[in-house]
Every structure is written in structure tokens, then in C-alpha cells.
Amino acid sequence: MTDICILGAGIVGLSLAHQLLEADPSVTITIIDKEPEAGLHGSGRNSGVLHAGLYYEPTSIKAKVCVAGAKRLKSWCEQEKLPVLKCGKVITPQKVGLDGQLDVLLQRGKANGAIVELIDEQQFLELVPDGRTASGRAIWSPGTCVVKPLMIVQRLLQRLQEKGVKFLFLNAQWTSNYKLNQINFADGTSLSYGHLFNCAGLQADRVAHQFDTGKQYTILPFRGNYWELRDPKHFQFNTNLYPVPDLDIPFLGVHVTPSIDGTIYLGPTATPALGRENYKGLTNVEPLGTLAFSRHMLNQLFLNKKMRRYVQEQAFQWLPNNFLSAAQAIVPKLKMTDIQRSNKVGIRPQLYNKKTHGLVQDFIMLDGPCSTHVINAISPAFTSSFELADLIVEKSKVFNT
Ligand SMILES: Cc1cc2nc3c(=O)[nH]c(=O)nc-3n(C[C@H](O)[C@H](O)[C@H](O)COP(=O)(O)OP(=O)(O)OC[C@H]3O[C@@H](n4cnc5c(N)ncnc54)[C@H](O)[C@@H]3O)c2cc1C
């Protein structure tokens, strides 16, 4: 028997355990992951940017948790002596027509409590000598940082083990008997729990369905491929450089991210994946899932002009020339010979609402039987993890029942 069972040892599940123990050190927690180790999915495969909180509508949960979450994760890393690259971020319009969006981002950033300022071309070029602003203006976010996500996951896991959290890395599946508050394992044993948190990332909708919860939702996997500079010495990137995003679509566009080990990454793309864990070639292809994905995308294309823009601008960025064009829009001197494909690949668990036929932009937490289901933990869930965890604990009322 465990008081709390958490499904998923990604950043959301681990931060949740951390915050539950902060609230009550005597609570017993078991974390179950279907993989043999932690960090094999989103939390170990992202850009590692601690976002400042500029993009999100001020009324959204993302806005509520991102700014404070970034500060908390940064100071936790400092306390743990984990590396933090305090490099800031510049957002630049890749087309003149996108200049007005800078004002929207500035307003959102200020409303959300982020430190953010408009800069002119001269200030821009001082920060990003190899970059381009189409309109002569850009946004500077000095507080944005870059971290090493996998290192954070591993350290958090270690700290939780030290506090007595039990981890079950199954390398196998389990089944739910939610009417009895039980998880059954393949070897015939089972685990009873008081409350269960579903933090299963790319599989979180399927897990929720096993608890008869969130049947109107399905996750559509969008693959993020990265490229990297062959020779960073030929460029000057001491800060993140992002394009102005299409705020109606949950992807930020191809950007440049410096890293702690000196690699300069470009990407990620946001192209439909052939399976939720289809990180490479034809491995883990899910034919039925891909058919359903195509059907939902076609629906979207008919119903939704924003998605037509997405298909036009981003869906085909897996093609090298399309990728290069997107990157050249913010770094004009970049040539194909300057970049190479990176091993880094991540897949976003983007939630789709089958009833409203739309992609869900905000985080979603659903109540199930003695359970809470976090089913859209897309970016900036890594950045926000500690603050998001507090919100999940508060919403689940696990300590009041
Ligand atoms: C390409 C890319 C770039 C990104 N860049 C950023 C960024 O710069 N900044 C930022 O803040 N965010 C970023 N994100 C988002 C961020 O990575 C995620 O929001 C975050 O990692 C989600 O964490 P998670 O714990 O929900 O999911 P995961 O890390 O995917 O963890 C879920 C865990 O659940 C386990 N699991 C799955 N199914 C089951 C099951 N049935 N039973 C038990 N366990 C199960 C998995 O094995 C996994 O370990 C990016 C994401 C991608 C894909």
C-alpha cells in the first residue's frame, strides 16, 4: 500500500513527488514508470530553455506557473550546483508583418510578471551579431536561461530516493483496477494506493482512459528534430534567438539555442510523428494512431484556418531545405554546409479535443476516480514543473480528504 502512486518519472511526476513531500514529509509515494529508467521521453529530450513566460495568455495556467516556475527551478539548480547558462533570449520578427506581434508579446510578458523589453536594431545586433530583425525591432528577455534537462531529472530522482520515495521501473505495462484503487503488474502482484497521479506524458490520455476519464481527448504526437552548427566558432550565439511565433499554434518555430557544453542547436521542427515514440525512422510506428492523426488533421484543415497556416509553414520542416529556409529567416548567413542533423529528437504530446476539433493550448488536469490526470504537459511544463506541481497538489485536494 502506498498513500500516493505517481505514473511517470518525467519532470512532472518527479516535481509532484518533491512538492508532496514538502507539504507532508510523512506521505508514502511510489513512482511507476513503464521504462527501465527515467528521462527517456520529453523530459530528457527538450531544448532545456527555462522560459520567461512571454507567450501565454495572462488568464492561462501556463502564465500562472511559468514565471514563478522558472525562478524556482533555476534556484533549485543553483542550490544543487547544477549548471545554468544565464544567456537570455531575443525574439525577432522574421517578416515585417510580424512586427506588431512584438507588442502583444511585450504586453503578455509584462502582465505575466516577466522581465522583458523592446530593443532596436543596434541593440539587437550587439546581442546577436549573426541574427536578423525584419522590422528593426525585437524583444529582449534577460532572464531566460538554459539548463541540462536530463541532469535535473537524474538529480531530482536521487533526492527523492534519499527521502524514501519508491521507484518501480517496470520495462513493462500494468493494468488499472481503479474501482479497487489498485495497479496490477504483469507478474501477478499489485499495488494499492490512496490517490493516483497520472503524469505519463505522451501516453497520459491513454492512461486517463483506463480510469474512464478524459475520453474526449487524444494526444497527437509532433516530432521535434534538431540540427546543430558544425562549427560554432564561425557564428556568435551567446543568447537564444527565437522567431516571433504564431500565437494560435502551440509551437514556437525553429530557433537557435546555445547549450552548456557549447553545442549550438537549431530547431526543433514540429512535424507530425508516425507514432508517439517514433523517435527514429520507422521505429515505433503506430499505423492506427497515424490514421487517426491524419483524420484529425484533415478535420482541422477544413475547420480551422490556423491549422492551414501550420501546415503551410511548419509541417514540412523535416525537409532539409524547408528547415534551412526557416532558420535563414532569422540567421541569413546560414548555409546548408554550416549545419548537420543532431541526435537529439523529442516528441510533443499535443492534446486534441475530439469534441471541439481543436488543439488544446493550456495544461489540463482532470479529476478521475481517486486520481488526477495531467494530460497536456507540453512546453513550458519543464520550466514550470515545481509551480505546476503545487497547482496539481492544490487541485487534487489530496491533503484535505
Ligand atoms: C522537442 C521539445 C522541446 C521542448 N523544449 C522545452 C523547453 O525548452 N522548455 C520547456 O519548459 N519545455 C520544453 N519542452 C516540453 C517539456 O519537455 C515537457 O513539457 C516536459 O518534459 C513534460 O514532462 P512530463 O513529465 O509530463 O513527460 P515525460 O518526460 O515524457 O515523462 C512521462 C513519463 O511517463 C512514462 N510513462 C508513459 N506511459 C506510462 C505508463 N503507461 N505507465 C507508467 N509510466 C508511463 C514515460 O516513460 C515517461 O518517463 C519541449 C518538449 C519537446 C518535445
Say yes or no to pLDDT of 399 above 90.
no
Are 338 and 384 in the same domain?
no
DSSP-derived pairing of the beta strands 166-169 and 84-85 = unpaired
pLDDT per position as a tens digit, 11-45: 999 999 999 999 999 999 999 999 999 999 999 99
CA 298 to CA 202: how far, in whole Å? 22
Residues in the ligand 1 pocket, defined by CB under 6 Å:
7-13, 32-35, 40-43, 45-49, 51, 199-203, 207, 224, 268, 346-348, 377-383
Q: Is 165 helix (H, G, I), strand (E, B) or coil?
A: coil
Peptide bond into 369 cis (omega under 30): no
Are 306 and 331 in the same domain?
yes
User: Residue 43: how many CB atoms within 10 A of its CB?
Assistant: 27
| Domain ranges, residue 255 | 219-235+248-353
CA 244 to CA 242: how far, in whole Å? 7
CA 204 to CA 145: how far, in whole Å? 28
Mean predicted lDDT score pLDDT of the chain:
94
Last residue of a domain, one of 318, 333, 353: 353
| Residues 330, 131 contacting (CB under 8 angstroms) | yes
Are 289 and 333 in the same domain?
yes
Q: From the CA of 345, give the closest atom in ligand 1.
A: 1
Say yes or no to pLDDT of 401 above 60.
no
Q: From the CA of 170, give the closest atom in ligand 1.
A: 43
Nearest CA to ligand 1 atom 42: 34
- What distance in angstroms lies between residue 10's CA and the mean position of ligand 1's atoms? 6
- End-to-end C-alpha distance for the chain, whole angstroms: 18
- What distance in angstroms lies between residue 352's CA and the mean position of ligand 1's atoms? 17
With a CB cutoff of 8 Å and minimum separation 6, the contacts of 49 are: 89, 144, 145, 146, 240, 257, 383
Residue 179 lies in a domain: yes
Are 291 and 372 in the same domain?
no
Read off the pLDDT of each residue in 152-161 and give the average, rounded to a whole number: 98
Transcribe 203-272 into DSSP letters.
GHHHHHHHTT--TTEEEEEEEEEEEEES-GGGS--SSEEEEPP-TTSS---SEEEE-TTS-EEEE---EE
C-alpha cell at 156: 531530482
HSE, CB side, 13 Å, CA atoms: give it for residue 59: 0
Residue of 132, 233, 194, 186 whose CA lies nearest to 5: 194
Grid cell 502583444 is found at 104
Determine the residue of 6, 16, 34, 284 to mutate for testing ligand 1's pocket, defined as the one with the most ligand atoms within 8 A of the Cβ atom: 34
pTM of the model: 0.96
Say yes or no to pLDDT of 400 above 70.
no
| CA angle in degrees (0–180, nearest 5) for 106-120-333 | 105
Residue 78 lies in a domain: no
Say yes or no to pLDDT of 312 above 90.
no
Are 196 and 345 in the same domain?
no
Q: Can you give the CATH number for the domain in which 326 is found? A: 3.30.9
Are 384 and 335 in the same domain?
no
Residue 207 lies in a domain: yes
Residue 116 lies in a domain: no
With a CB cutoff of 8 Å and minimum separation 6, the contacts of 401 are: none
Say yes or no to pLDDT of 58 above 80.
yes
CA-to-CA separations, 250 to 130, 177, 315, 400, in angstroms, rounded: 27, 34, 13, 35
Residue 294 lies in a domain: yes
Burial environment of residue 44 by CB neighbours within 10 A (0 to 12, 13 to 18, 19 or more): buried
Q: From the CA of 380, give the closest atom in ligand 1.
A: 11
Are 187 and 326 in the same domain?
no
Determine the residue of 6, 12, 156, 160 to mutate for testing ligand 1's pocket, defined as the one with the most ligand atoms within 8 A of the Cβ atom: 12
HSE, CB side, 13 Å, CA atoms: give it for residue 118: 15
Q: From the CA of 348, give the closest atom in ligand 1.
A: 53
**Residue 67 banded pLDDT, cuts 50, 70, 90:** very high
Are 297 and 393 in the same domain?
no
Grid cell 524547408 is found at 322
Say yes or no to pLDDT of 373 above 60.
yes
Are 231 and 347 in the same domain?
yes
**Residue 294 banded pLDDT, cuts 50, 70, 90:** confident
Read off the pLDDT of each residue in 63-70 and give the average, rounded to a whole number: 97
What's the domain count of the chain?
Answer: 2
- What distance in angstroms lies between residue 177's CA and the mean position of ligand 1's atoms? 25
Grid cell 506581434 is found at 101
Determine the residue of 47, 347, 373 to mutate for testing ligand 1's pocket, defined as the one with the most ligand atoms within 8 A of the Cβ atom: 47
